């Protein structure tokens, strides 16, 4: 059995206190409804756990009805940090869940083939992440405004979501993070802590995340082109 | 005196042999005409050197007439590699040129403020480059499909153009590259070879380059929004 956790508890503070980026209308629906639809439609996914902010449960319940999402889903309260939200999501998985795909709520364009490929790779390796090769020329600064050195981009990948795991692997990895009082920016970083190899799964199509309002028009364009 | 070199000699082989990306119609004009317009309109720039493929001189001359570009410009033949094209451009600068801004022909959205800021920084430091902070989570692979390590992105910048220099600095830097028979992917890498500090100038607005056809719709969106 495969579960998905959609992390939709972020406050999106980079957009200001009054904007909840997950509910921005994009290509005719709230942003997070596009993300949810991806997993509702993904053939290999059996259930969906949505980790949401307290007080937003009603909005998500309405969304399920309005867009006719079909798969079993459960709402779970978010935690203080992203890793706490993921942890809460893991507690809510069906007992039979073997694989879990963890997705940013604000990343609405993930291709079905990429979801499927991370699931297959996680079955095989234990952990897998959607990623794209870095195509920009990259420099490391000296900490200020001067270039300190050139970084060879040949081996660099920008990682995205889904980040997909055998359930015991991510449980053990995040347990380790919690015991050591660490803060990790993504779930594969937790795997690195326990020596769990992580497979890179190339996203051929763009798979961007909304971080600031200036990201919205591009994502709207991608969603509209797909719908056309 | 400030000169600009627009490197417009690329064959754009990633788009197939029959597509010249510089002439793709984007927001009503050939892509490279947008780039040219930026520098034609930039207050601090006095002349423009276009480095073009052999056989394309007529197309650029027509473009100047059609879009009414006003600043003095000269066409120069491209070389084998990008660095050879830049070298050819440097040979064509007016003798009075003190500062040169080198721009990718396929990067049409560069903001006037960024052009001005790289010119000011190059006057002060000798070399400056438009750049954006890396916002993605970055991993280094093991050379295959596994994550080898997490890269701290706090000091990483994706570099763009313009890359702007005091003229003697970039001449000496590229002379060194040529004498040593090296290949550099960007002009600031040549500066690193001679120990010339390079200042990072933050591009606040998106400043993308067309590399593949899939980049075009986003760039069209940016150009249309600006025109609206």
CATH code assigned at B83: 3.90.550.10
pLDDT at B29: 95
pLDDT over 60 at A185, yes or no? yes
pLDDT at A7: 97
Mean local confidence (pLDDT), A178-203: 93
Domain hosting B21: range is 2-227
pLDDT at B185: 82
pLDDT at B17: 55
The verdict on a CB contact (< 8 Å) between B221 and A225 is no
The answer to whether A138 contacts chain B (CB < 8 Å) is yes
Q: Nearest C-alpha of chain A: how many angstroms from B68?
A: 31
- Whether the model clears a pTM of 0.80, i.e. scores above it, the answer is yes
The verdict on a CB contact (< 8 Å) between B145 and A200 is yes
The answer to whether B104 contacts chain A (CB < 8 Å) is no
pLDDT over 70 at A95, yes or no? yes
pLDDT over 70 at A216, yes or no? yes
pLDDT over 70 at A182, yes or no? yes
As given in the structure block, the two tokens for residue A142 are 């000296």
Between B2 and A184, the more confident residue is B2
ipTM confidence score: 0.89
Share of chain A above pLDDT 90, in %: 82
Q: Which residues contact B23 (CB under 8 A, 6 or more apart)?
A: B30, B31, B32, B59
pLDDT at A17: 55
H-type helices in A42-81, by residue range?
57-67
The verdict on a CB contact (< 8 Å) between A149 and B198 is no
pLDDT single digits (tens) A139-150: 999 999 999 988
Residue of B nearest to A185 (CA): B137
The verdict on a CB contact (< 8 Å) between B200 and A146 is yes
Residue of B nearest to A202 (CA): B145
Asked if residue B93 lies in contact with residue B100, where contact means CB atoms within 8 angstroms, the answer is yes
pLDDT over 80 at A19, yes or no? no
Q: Which residues contact B144 (CB under 8 A, 6 or more apart)?
A: none
pLDDT at B197: 96
pLDDT at B14: 58
In this complex, the residue of A150, A158, A197 whose CB is nearest that of residue B136 is A158
pLDDT at B216: 92
Determine which helix (DSSP H) or strand (DSSP E) holds B212, and give its type and residue range. none
As given in the structure block, the two tokens for residue B188 are 């600031």
Asked if residue B61 lies in contact with residue B94, where contact means CB atoms within 8 angstroms, the answer is no
pLDDT at A181: 94
pLDDT at A214: 84
In this complex, the residue of B156, B200, B218 whose CB is nearest that of residue A218 is B218
Query: Going by DSSP bridges, is the β-strand pair B29-30/B99-104 parallel, antiparallel, or unpaired?
Result: unpaired
- On the 0-12 / 13-18 / 19+ scale of CB atoms within 10 A, B37 is middle
pLDDT over 80 at A226, yes or no? yes
Domain count, chain B: 1
Which among B121, B106, B113 is positioned nearest to B24, based on CA atoms?
A: B106
The verdict on a CB contact (< 8 Å) between A159 and B140 is no
Partners of A196 on chain B (C-beta within 8 Å) are none
pLDDT over 90 at A156, yes or no? yes
Interface test with B, best of A120, A141, A199 (most B CBs within 10 A): A141
The answer to whether A228 contacts chain B (CB < 8 Å) is no
Mean pLDDT in each 10-residue stretch from start to end of chain B (228 residues)? 95 62 94 97 96 93 96 96 96 98 97 97 98 93 91 92 98 96 91 94 94 89 88
Asked if residue B131 lies in contact with residue B160, where contact means CB atoms within 8 angstroms, the answer is yes
Averaged confidence pLDDT in chain A: 93
pLDDT at B112: 93
pLDDT over 70 at A51, yes or no? yes
A20 band by pLDDT with thresholds 50, 70 and 90? confident
pLDDT at A18: 60
Partners of B142 on chain A (C-beta within 8 Å) are 155
The answer to whether B200 contacts chain A (CB < 8 Å) is yes
- C-alpha to C-alpha distance for B138 and A131, rounded to whole angstroms: 9
Q: Which residue has 């050819």 as its token pair? A: B88
pLDDT at B12: 58
pLDDT over 90 at A44, yes or no? yes
The answer to whether A159 contacts chain B (CB < 8 Å) is yes
The verdict on a CB contact (< 8 Å) between A221 and B225 is no
The answer to whether B185 contacts chain A (CB < 8 Å) is yes
Asked if residue B192 lies in contact with residue A141, where contact means CB atoms within 8 angstroms, the answer is no
In this structure, chain A runs to a length of 228
Of the listed ranges A5-14, A72-81, B33-42, the one predicted with least confidence: A5-14
Give the number of A-B residue pairs with CB atoms closer than 8 Å.
Answer: 114
As given in the structure block, the two tokens for residue B140 are 């280094």
Determine which helix (DSSP H) or strand (DSSP E) holds A6, and give its type and residue range. strand A2-8
- C-alpha to C-alpha distance for B134 and B211, rounded to whole angstroms: 19
Partners of A214 on chain B (C-beta within 8 Å) are 206
- C-alpha to C-alpha distance for B97 and B115, rounded to whole angstroms: 16
* 3-state SS class at A59: helix
> From its phi and psi, is residue A138 left (phi > 0), alpha (psi between -120 and 50) or beta?
beta
Partners of A221 on chain B (C-beta within 8 Å) are 217-218, 221
Which among B202, B201, B198 is positioned nearest to B187, based on CA atoms?
A: B198
Q: Nearest C-alpha of chain B: how many angstroms from A75?
A: 27
Partners of A164 on chain B (C-beta within 8 Å) are none
């Amino acid at each position: 059995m495969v579960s998905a956790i959609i992390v939709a508890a972020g406050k999106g503070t980079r957009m200001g206190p009054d904007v909840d980026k997950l509910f921005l209308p994009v290509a005719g629906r709230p942003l997070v409804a596009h993300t949810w639809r991806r997993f509702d439609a993904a053939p290999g996914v059996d259930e969906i756990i949505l980790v949401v902010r307290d007080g937003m449960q009603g909005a998500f319940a309405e969304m399920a009805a309005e867009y006719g999402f079909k798969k079993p889903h459960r709402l779970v309260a978010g935690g203080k940090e992203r890793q706490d939200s993921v942890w809460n999501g893991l507690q809510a998985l069906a007992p039979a869940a073997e694989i879990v795909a963890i997705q940013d709520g604000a990343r609405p364009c993930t291709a079905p083939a990429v979801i499927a490929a991370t699931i297959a790779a996680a079955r095989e390796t234990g952990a897998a992440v959607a990623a794209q090769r870095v195509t920009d020329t990259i420099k490391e600064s000296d900490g200020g405004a001067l270039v300190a050195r050139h970084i060879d981009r040949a081996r660099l990948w920008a990682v995205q979501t889904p980040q997909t795991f055998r359930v015991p692997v991510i449980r053990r990895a995040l347990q380790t993070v919690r015991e050591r009082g660490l803060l990790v920016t993504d779930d594969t970083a937790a795997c690195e802590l326990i020596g769990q190899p992580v497979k890179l799964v190339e996203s051929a199509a763009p798979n961007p995340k909304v971080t600031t309002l200036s990201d919205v028009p591009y994502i709207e364009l991608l969603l509209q082109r797909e719908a056309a």
